[in-house]
């Protein structure tokens, strides 16, 4: 069991050392419990300084002692000189200055504290280590190689290098988020990544680019200066040999940008180029119609509207394009765009056809959405005259 240091014995040893009257036991006690810190070194220097100076022989000279002590400390930047408020004996004056200079020593020295029996014990202090933020997890590379081998002259790369020309030694597939690019063996490309927008420039060969549903047109492929922005849930096959290149949409849609002009392509369409020539292949109307209906059924109204518009532009005058006007007008209404919807219904009604009843109803709805109330009332009255007993009459009267 460790003995507790008696306060009176400790103070007696300190006082004896200050006036150089300590015996061996007292000096050993002070050396055992005195901390070896900056304050202790100052005190030791002060004692050495005083030992080399003749001490005043009369108690009336205590002011001289205190002044000498405080001057010594002030010169070392440890204490501002202060005048004593009352007369002190030489030993007490020295002790007072030492206490001011090294309060930390007195606080650190082990002392026995008398406690009133009626006092509650002090609560224990629990020291806890400071919380340290965990090291951040390493950031995954922008492009990750899933399979195959890549060659960056003259070495084989285990990762997808960025910004340098790379060759697929064997058929290689890379992933960025939910987007995947598979380059045929021998194909050369340059992969880039700018934040959430990955880009791959195909230099030669063929590549299949598939964008997941969350990609949302962030994935871009560059072929011979033509930039292809691939929408979510889409797939594009790109090839380039010398100056001839092809971009074919095999699923979904993509936006083609070349020389400041933009072209929207959907599944089944292909864009071919040779040099500066850009020639889109004529899309099949039945394929476009099937794509538009599929997009509408899946809830992709924007994609369906583009597919119907492409069908109408590519096959003007055809029956399928004429019928598509009604479907396009209905989609515009669902998207909250009554003005283009009205234009689509009126284009159909000018030529007429088997869907005139549906187109007339759509025209009335578009007029009401545009707050053209008078024109909407006239159109509703005309509808009832032209189509008496129509199943749409109740819906028309109900608003």
Nearest by Cα to 210 from 187, 190, 236: 236
Q: What is the pLDDT of residue 130?
A: 44
Q: What is the pLDDT of residue 58?
A: 52
Burial of 127 (0-12, 13-18, 19+ CB in 10 A): exposed
The structure's pTM equals: 0.40
CATH 1.25.40.10 assigned to domain 284-399? The reply is yes
DSSP per residue over 61-129, as a string? Answer: GHHHHHHHHHHHHHHTTS------SS---HHHHHHHHHHHH-HHHHHHS-------TTSPPPPPPPP-P
Q: Are 79 and 70 in contact (CB under 8 A)?
A: yes
Is the omega angle on the peptide bond into residue 154 within 30 degrees of 0, that is, cis?
Answer: yes
- 154-201, pLDDT tens digit by residue? 788 778 888 889 999 889 999 888 888 999 999 999 988 776 578 889
Q: Are 30 and 16 in contact (CB under 8 A)?
A: no
Q: What is the pLDDT of residue 45?
A: 61
Q: What is the pLDDT of residue 76?
A: 57
Helices (H), 102-235: 103-108
* SS3 state of residue 336: coil
Domain-wise residue ranges, the chain: 7-108, 149-281, 284-399
* SS3 state of residue 130: coil
Q: What is the pLDDT of residue 28?
A: 80
Same fold, 149-281 and 284-399: no
Q: What is the pLDDT of residue 23?
A: 86
Q: What is the pLDDT of residue 275?
A: 45
Q: Is the dihedral of CA 355, 356, 358, 359 positive or negative?
A: positive
Burial of 173 (0-12, 13-18, 19+ CB in 10 A): middle
**Assigned CATH topology for domain 149-281:** Jelly Rolls (2.60.120)
Residues of the chain with pLDDT under 70: 1-7, 33-141, 195-196, 214-218, 274-282, 398-399
Nearest by Cα to 196 from 220, 173, 174: 220
* CA distances for 107 relative to 39, 45, 103, 119, angstroms: 12, 20, 6, 22
* SS3 state of residue 249: strand
Residue 29 to residue 103: CA distance in whole angstroms: 19
Q: What is the pLDDT of residue 68?
A: 63
């Amino acid at each position: 069991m460790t003995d507790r240091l008696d306060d009176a014995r400790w103070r007696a040893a300190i006082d004896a050392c200050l006036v150089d009257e300590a015996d061996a036991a007292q000096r050993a006690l002070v050396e055992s419990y005195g901390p070896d810190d900056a304050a202790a070194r100052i005190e030791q220097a002060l004692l050495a300084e005083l030992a080399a100076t003749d001490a005043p022989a009369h108690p009336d000279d205590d002011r001289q002692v205190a002044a000498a002590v405080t001057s010594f400390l002030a010169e070392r930047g440890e204490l501002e000189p202060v005048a004593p408020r009352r007369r002190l004996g030489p030993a007490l004056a020295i002790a007072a200055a030492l206490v001011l200079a090294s309060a930390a020593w007195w606080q650190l020295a082990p002392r026995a504290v008398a406690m009133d029996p009626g006092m509650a014990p002090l609560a224990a202090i629990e020291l806890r280590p400071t919380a340290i933020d965990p090291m951040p997890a390493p950031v995954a590379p922008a492009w990750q190689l899933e399979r195959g081998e890549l060659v960056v002259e003259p070495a084989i790369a285990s990762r997808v290098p960025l910004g340098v020309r790379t060759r697929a030694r064997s058929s290689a597939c890379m992933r960025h988020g939910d987007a995947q690019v598979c380059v045929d063996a021998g194909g050369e490309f340059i992969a880039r990544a700018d934040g959430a927008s990955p880009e791959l420039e195909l230099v030669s060969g063929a590549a299949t680019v598939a964008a997941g549903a969350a990609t949302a047109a962030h994935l871009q492929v560059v072929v011979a200066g033509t930039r292809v922005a691939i929408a979510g849930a889409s797939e594009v096959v790109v090839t380039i040999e010398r100056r001839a290149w092809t971009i074919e949409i095999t699923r979904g849609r993509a936006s083609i940008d070349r020389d400041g002009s933009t072209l929207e392509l959907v599944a089944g369409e292909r864009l071919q180029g040779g040099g500066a020539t850009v020639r889109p292949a004529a899309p099949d109307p039945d394929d476009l119609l099937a794509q538009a209906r599929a997009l509408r059924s899946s809830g992709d109204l924007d994609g369906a509207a583009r597919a119907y518009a492409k069908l109408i532009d590519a096959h003007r005058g055809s029956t399928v394009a004429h019928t598509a006007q009604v479907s396009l007008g209905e989609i515009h209404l669902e998207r909250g765009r009554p003005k283009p919807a009205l234009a689509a219904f009126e284009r159909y009604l000018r030529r007429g056809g088997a869907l005139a009843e549906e187109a007339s109803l759509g025209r009335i709805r578009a007029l009401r959405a545009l707050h053209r109330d008078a024109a909407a009332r006239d159109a509703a009255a005309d509808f009832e005259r032209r189509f008496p007993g129509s199943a749409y009459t109740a819906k028309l009267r109900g608003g």
